[in-house]
Amino acid sequence: MPVVMDADRIGRTLTRIAHEIVERNRGMDDVALVGVRTRGDHLARRLGRILRDITGRDVPTGVLDITLYRDDLMRHAVGPQPLVRRTDIPFSIDDRRILLVDDVLYTGRTTRAALDALIDFGRPRAIQLIVLVDRGHRELPIKADYVGKNLPTAPDESVQVYLQESDGHDEVVLQASVEQGGGA
């Protein structure tokens, strides 16, 4: 189980991404963070804290649950439905630059669902995608604007992101097995 990012590396990566965000979005006036549940939410809140330290101002932050927009929801005739949790975007996304945050970018299907969900909340000026790990194997024409680490993987490997908030420690691990999906 090779560890591809440890806690220090994750921390430094998020700081670097935060600086890139400030560089690309001069003014930061109309910027807001939206994290994809669950780990994208934790990462968005961390980025929000780093951005506050850098710019001295709060960035509005929301959380998006994409379950009801999944493209595989009705594909299986019989089986339990995935759990749905609350979406909470406590600000208008109209005319804002939305920084969409997820832990792993893989097939691009989660991002597609997140884009559809976001558009139902309004018409943002732009949406930029931030991912901690890009593991390749895209099935849709989707590309991240900020990447923590490009990680070449085989299709039967899986990428696990562990974060303090949900898992008790910070780590990104590459696993050889296929038993758990590494975030679609």
Binding site residues, another protein, CB under 8 A? 63, 65, 67-69, 73-74, 76-81, 83-88, 116-117, 120-122
Nearest distance from C-beta of residue 73 to another protein, angstroms: 6
CB-nearer residue toward another protein: 109 or 135: 109
Q: The sheet that has 31-36: what strands, in order across it? A: 61-64, 31-36, 97-105, 126-134, 146-150
Beta bridge partners of 133: 104, 149
Nearest distance from C-beta of residue 30 to another protein, angstroms: 18
Nearest distance from C-beta of residue 173 to another protein, angstroms: 24
CB-nearer residue toward another protein: 23 or 120: 120
Report d(CA 69, CA 114) in Å as an integer.
8
Name the nearest CA neighbour of 93 among 68, 53, 63, 138: 63
CB-nearer residue toward another protein: 37 or 135: 37
Q: Give the 3-state secondary structure of residue 58.
A: coil
